[in-house]
Amino acid sequence: MCESITPENKKQAPQKPPLSWRTIAGEILAGTATAFVSVPVLYASGAIVLFSGPGHDYTGSVGQLHLFGDLAMFIFLFPVVSGLYGLASALGVYLVGSGGKQTGSLLATFGCGFLAAGVTLFVFPFAFSSHLIGVEKIVLGAVVLLTAPIMATLGFNLTRKYKQPPSS
């Protein structure tokens, strides 16, 4: 039997909150700030745990061993720190984005931030290579540092919704 479609029996499509450039800028800035604060602390604590000991002197055979240890620390900790940079960025984005009347998917925000951090692992060596001049290094460095917060913001805003549906 055919029933007519009326506003009473028609389900309302879920609405998204309006998107604001200020909110997006705040999410990106918060993601970058959160990562800048947390990653050096995590990197330094990892270095202390792995290579605690007296000061490093890079002269002589013992010094070369310390240099090798520092390089190994960078090689082994850099992917971990890069992943933590993406996750810290995503946390800052999520905290700012979920304030007020809206929320988004925590999993999508963390997933996009973590994937962007994986991409930066491949771009980072090119960003700071010796054949680039000053302006190119600055632009590529900014791209490397802003990729994770921008991708986390994208993941959050694609899944954002009202915390409670608005009353009509």
Q: What is the mean pLDDT of the chain?
A: 77
User: What pLDDT, on the 0 to 100 scale, is given for residue 71?
Assistant: 66
Give domain status of residue 15, yes or no. Answer: no
CA max distance for the chain = 91
| 10/166 Cα distance (integer angstroms) | 16
152 closest CA partner among 93, 96, 99, 104: 93
pLDDT value of position 58: 47
Position 9 scores a pLDDT of 47
- Whether 12 is covered by a domain: the verdict is no
Q: How do residues 8-17 score in pLDDT, each as one tens digit? A: 544 555 677 8
Query: How many domains is the chain partitioned into structurally?
Result: 1
Q: Is 6 a member of any domain? A: no
Query: For residue 140, what are the domain limits?
Result: 21-162
Residues 6+ apart with CB under 8 A from 49: none
pLDDT value, residue 29 = 95
Render pLDDT for 13-55 as a digit per residue (tens, 0 to 9).
567 788 889 999 999 999 999 988 887 777 677 666 655 555 5
Residue 79 lies in a domain: yes
**Residue 1 maps to a domain:** no
Whether 75 maps to a domain, the answer reads yes
Between 16 and 65, residue with greater pLDDT: 16
Is 64 part of a structural domain of the chain?
A: yes
Mean pLDDT, rounded, for 94-114 = 92
The pTM (predicted TM-score) of the whole model is 0.71
Q: How confident is the model at residue 145 (pLDDT cuts 50, 70, 90)?
A: confident
- Structural element, H or E, at residue 139: helix 134-158
